[in-house]
């Protein structure tokens, strides 16, 4: 688990940095309004994947891990084949509906006819992404982390080069064609990833015995995939509704259409991506944690489950809290420097709190999925999505509220998700939260670091040190101070490196 987490963390960090650089150049090339149009079609991407692939990928990961734990490696290929067949059937149905109704989808659901070309070009991208993700989670479930990690890293380089290269060659274009160029670059990188992972899988499967599928395999796949896919579908539908409602409710609160789309592009295309960049470790740990918990649950090892939950929560606090404190202080400066947008750091304090809470929520949701509590995770996610959607609709339309309504919903829904998921995890594993280690010590250390970094940054700026150099000096100083403060409170960071 340590090896897989560290490998995927390193890969994810590099990928996050590349993706962040990609967003910087993309926003500079196309501007805030086209970034807003691009953000409008991304929820469609998430919705279609939730219908066709999300639940099946978790089924591949969990069942492959279970068969590996029981020494039945030949059955893992049968799991992947069944899930691929189900994906192809579901995708054919969804793609047919999209092709027939792309015009009303873009005009009435997304609220902007300029998304039509990008919507159609998403279909081949989604097909390739589904094939890629199913094979990727086969490797995660079998504990073979290196192939998907290497492919993911190469994918980021290819996406950055393909999208920015196409824009550099063909701009200026109309907004609709510009969004189409961005999606075409995504198709190119997904083609590489899917083909590469299929080839790597076939090489690995060639040395394994071909075992017939268990009689109840399809039923077990449905038991895992349906609640997770249903949850992801409802969550993404609510997320899509949020994305569509944000510019509309901004207009209702008094903004003009162009300013509303620009504000939406800045919030979802610049500020939030800057805040979620430090969460690479959380995503990597979740990918490794879920199949490991599935193995422990299959063997009835509650002690191992409790230990892994503790280490995961400790790692989330120790790594994400200082990152959010650092970005609260220096995020506005970083946003102005990277995006050349004065409003890129707006609402950064409450948004950083929401990101921290959402990290806990994500880890605990992964725990529930790993131990077979998919239905509980599903209902919790639906409730949280409903809270976010309600805040967006009712609060953002109020005069003078605007984006503050979305931010309030983000924080409230993340807090609710944390509480609901922890209730289920604690009851299943018979454990209580270790509040001092998970919350008090890291929070006090991060607060001390944030206050000192704020003073140091102001001093450096008054002394004539340039902004980027002042940020780097503060980062180095703050990291050392944070580790010392943790150590003084008796929290050993070395505990993070014993994820056995």
Residue 352 sits in the same domain as residue 488: no
Does residue 257 carry a pLDDT above 70? no
Q: Express as a percent the part of the chain with pLDDT over 70.
A: 86
pLDDT tens-digit profile of 115-124? 778 788 888 9
Residue 241 sits in the same domain as residue 355: yes
Cβ(186)–Cβ(124) under 8 Å?
no
* Domain around 41: 2-433
The encoded tokens of residue 176 equal 């609709």
Residue 83 and residue 86: Cα distance in Å, rounded? 5
* Measured distance between the N- and C-terminal CA atoms of the chain, rounded to whole angstroms: 6
Does residue 208 carry a pLDDT above 70? no
The encoded tokens of residue 448 equal 């001390």
Does residue 499 carry a pLDDT above 50? no
Helices and strands in the chain, H and E counts: 18, 0
Query: Cα 453 vs. chain centroid, distance in angstroms?
Result: 28
**Predicted local distance difference test score (pLDDT) of residue 446:** 92
Residue 355 sits in the same domain as residue 473: no
Q: Express as a percent the part of the chain with pLDDT over 90.
A: 10
From the number of C-beta atoms within 10 Å of its C-beta (0-12, 13-18, 19+), residue 99 rates as exposed
Out of 399, 417, 433, pick the residue that ends a domain: 433
Does residue 155 carry a pLDDT above 80? yes
Cβ(396)–Cβ(402) under 8 Å?
yes
Residue corresponding to tokens 């949020």 = 242
Q: Using only the alpha carbons of the chain, give its radius of gyration.
A: 23
pLDDT tens-digit profile of 23-52? 777 777 777 677 777 777 777 787 888 888
pLDDT classification of 299: cutoffs 50, 70, 90: confident
226-253 mean pLDDT: 74
Out of 433, 466, 492, pick the residue that ends a domain: 433
Q: Mean pLDDT in the chain? A: 81
Residue 363 sits in the same domain as residue 494: no
Residue 79 and residue 70: Cα distance in Å, rounded? 15
- What predicted TM-score, i.e. pTM, was given to this entire model? 0.68
Residue 344 and residue 338: Cα distance in Å, rounded? 9
**Predicted local distance difference test score (pLDDT) of residue 423:** 92
pLDDT tens-digit profile of 387-440? 888 888 888 777 777 778 888 888 999 999 999 999 999 998 888 888 888 889
Residue 263 sits in the same domain as residue 312: yes
| Residue 381 or residue 419, greater confidence | 419
Residue 138 and residue 266: Cα distance in Å, rounded? 36
Residue 416 sits in the same domain as residue 468: no
Residue 186 sits in the same domain as residue 230: yes
**Predicted local distance difference test score (pLDDT) of residue 16:** 67
Q: Range with the lowest mean pLDDT among 13-17, 356-360, 405-409, 485-489?
A: 13-17
pLDDT classification of 6: cutoffs 50, 70, 90: low
pLDDT tens-digit profile of 323-366? 999 988 888 887 777 666 677 777 888 889 999 999 999 899 88
| Residue 348 or residue 18, greater confidence | 348
Q: What total number of domains does the chain contain?
A: 2
Cβ(138)–Cβ(80) under 8 Å?
yes
Asked whether the bond before 172 is cis by omega within 30 degrees of 0, the reply is yes
Query: Cα 321 vs. chain centroid, distance in angstroms?
Result: 18
Residue 362 sits in the same domain as residue 469: no
Q: Range with the lowest mean pLDDT among 98-102, 366-370, 453-457, 494-498?
A: 494-498
**Predicted local distance difference test score (pLDDT) of residue 7:** 61
pLDDT classification of 107: cutoffs 50, 70, 90: confident
pLDDT classification of 269: cutoffs 50, 70, 90: low
197-212 mean pLDDT: 77
Does residue 478 carry a pLDDT above 80? yes
| Residue 45 or residue 198, greater confidence | 198
Residue 229 sits in the same domain as residue 318: yes
138-149 mean pLDDT: 78
Cβ(325)–Cβ(398) under 8 Å?
no
SS3 234: helix
**Predicted local distance difference test score (pLDDT) of residue 500:** 42
Cα-based distances in Å from 100 to 112, 118, 207, 308, 321: 18, 15, 44, 47, 47
Out of 433, 452, 474, pick the residue that ends a domain: 433
Cβ(56)–Cβ(21) under 8 Å?
no
**Predicted local distance difference test score (pLDDT) of residue 445:** 92
Cα-based distances in Å from 197 to 48, 201, 282, 422: 21, 6, 23, 35
Does residue 97 carry a pLDDT above 70? yes
pLDDT classification of 261: cutoffs 50, 70, 90: low
**Predicted local distance difference test score (pLDDT) of residue 9:** 61
Does residue 495 carry a pLDDT above 60? no
| Interacting residues of 243 by C-beta distance below 8 A, sequence separation 6+ | 39, 40, 42, 43, 264, 268
Cβ(29)–Cβ(23) under 8 Å?
no
Residue 445 sits in the same domain as residue 413: no
Residue 180 sits in the same domain as residue 31: yes
Residue 90 sits in the same domain as residue 146: yes
* Residue in 395, 56, 100, 44 with CA at minimum distance from that of residue 239: 44
């Amino acid at each position: 688990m340590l090896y897989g987490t560290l490998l995927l963390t390193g890969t994810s960090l590099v990928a996050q940095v590349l993706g962040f650089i990609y967003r910087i150049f993309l926003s500079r090339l196309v501007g805030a309004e086209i970034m807003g149009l691009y953000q409008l079609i991304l929820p469609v991407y998430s919705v279609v994947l939730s219908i066709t692939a999300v639940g099946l990928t978790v089924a591949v990961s969990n069942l492959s891990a279970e068969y590996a734990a029981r020494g039945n490696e030949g059955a893992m290929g049968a799991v992947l084949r069944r899930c691929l067949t189900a994906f192809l059937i579901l995708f054919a149905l969804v793609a047919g509906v999209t092709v027939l109704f792309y015009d009303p989808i873009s005009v009435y659901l997304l609220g902007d006819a300029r998304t039509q070309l990008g919507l159609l070009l998403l279909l081949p991208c989604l097909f390739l992404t589904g094939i890629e993700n199913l094979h990727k989670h086969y490797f995660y479930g079998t504990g073979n982390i290196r192939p998907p990690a290497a492919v993911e890293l190469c994918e980021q380089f290819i996406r950055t080069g393909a999208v920015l290269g196409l824009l550099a060659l063909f701009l200026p274009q109309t907004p609709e064609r510009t969004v189409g160029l961005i999606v075409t670059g995504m198709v190119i990188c997904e083609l590489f990833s899917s083909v590469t992972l299929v080839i790597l899988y076939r090489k690995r499967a060639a040395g394994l015995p071909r075992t017939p599928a268990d009689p109840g395999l399809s039923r077990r796949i449905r038991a895992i995939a349906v609640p997770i896919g249903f949850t992801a579908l409802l969550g993404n539908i609510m997320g899509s509704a949020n994305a569509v409602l944000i510019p509309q409710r901004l207009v209702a609160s008094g903004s003009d259409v162009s300013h509303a789309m620009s504000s939406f592009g800045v919030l979802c295309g610049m500020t939030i991506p800057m805040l979620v960049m430090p969460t690479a470790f959380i995503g990597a740990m979740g990918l490794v944690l879920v199949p490991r918990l599935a193995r422990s649950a299959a063997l009835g090892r509650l002690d191992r489950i409790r230990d892994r939950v503790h280490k995961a929560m400790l790692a989330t606090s120790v790594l994400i809290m200082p990152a959010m404190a650092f970005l609260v202080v220096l995020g506005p400066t970083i946003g102005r420097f990277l995006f050349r947008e004065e409003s890129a750091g707006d609402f950064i304090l409450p948004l950083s709190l929401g990101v921290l809470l959402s990290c806990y929520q994500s880890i605990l949701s992964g725990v529930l999925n790993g131990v077979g509590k998919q239905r509980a995770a599903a209902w919790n996610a639906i409730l949280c999505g409903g809270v976010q959607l309600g805040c967006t609709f009712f609060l953002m339309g109020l005069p003078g509220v605007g984006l503050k309504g979305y931010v309030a919903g983000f924080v409230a829904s993340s807090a609710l998700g944390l509480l609901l998921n922890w209730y289920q995890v604690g009851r299943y594993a018979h454990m209580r939260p270790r509040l001092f280690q998970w919350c008090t010590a890291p929070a006090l250390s991060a607060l001390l670091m944030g206050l000192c970094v704020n003073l140091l940054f102001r001093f450096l700026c008054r002394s004539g040190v340039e902004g980027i150099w002042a940020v780097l000096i503060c980062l180095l100083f703050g990291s050392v101070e944070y580790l010392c403060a943790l150590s003084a409170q008796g929290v050993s960071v070395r505990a993070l490196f014993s994820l056995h």
